[in-house]
Amino acid sequence: MLELIRQPWHWAVAGVLIGLTVPTLLIIGNKSFGISSSLRHICAACFPADIPFFNYNWKKEIWNLFFVAGVLIGGFIAGQFLSNPNIIVISESTITDLKALGITDFSNLMPADLFSVDNIFTLKGLFFFVIGGFMVGFGTRYAGGCTSGHAIMGLSTLQLPSLIATISFMVGGFLMTQLLLPLIFKLF
């Protein structure tokens, strides 16, 4: 059984499981699927100040904190004990494109040229981790949710704002990848 879990699975398996999450959450209590709201719940629980944004009954949403904790614990367990022993397969065209950007280490899931402890305290690290993290957080708050919340929950419940947000996420991702990322790599 453990060997079956360690092997790469077809992407459709995860798609079906994630897809079944939406009706399950709706049936068990009209809950919305999403990750970004958990930070708000943590802040409301840990810093009970008189800030209106954090002044609500966060205990009603505690299930979301358990969900996020499960994602983190599951990711740790999978990374430490269930990692795929095979070499990561990347298409040649992707390798060529990444090498043109200066990314040459493909030994892990995340390229060490970007995601390493050595890069944290560099200008590249400041830009990718701090500024990029701020932009993701700001965009999530501005859009009223994260990509998973809008694209999975919002679209499945036929929400027009989620359709607009998902289209914007995709267009922004394409523009960033094709136009801005090559310019950023040239700067750093």
Nearest one of 170, 126, 127, 163 to 144, comparing CA atoms: 163
Tens of pLDDT along the chain (188 residues)? 777 777 778 889 988 988 888 888 888 888 877 788 888 888 888 877 788 888 888 888 888 889 889 999 998 988 888 877 777 788 899 889 888 888 888 777 778 877 888 888 888 888 888 888 888 888 888 888 888 888 888 888 899 999 999 999 899 989 988 888 888 878 77
What is the predicted pLDDT for the residue at 160? 94
- Length of the chain counted residue by residue: 188
Cα-flanking dihedrals φ and ψ of residue 140, to 5°?
-65, -45
Q: Say if residue 146 is exposed, middle or buried (CB neighbours under 10 Å; 0-12, 13-18, 19+).
A: buried
What is the predicted pLDDT for the residue at 174? 92
What is the predicted pLDDT for the residue at 148? 80
DSSP tag of 95: H
What is the predicted pLDDT for the residue at 93? 92
What is the predicted pLDDT for the residue at 144? 83
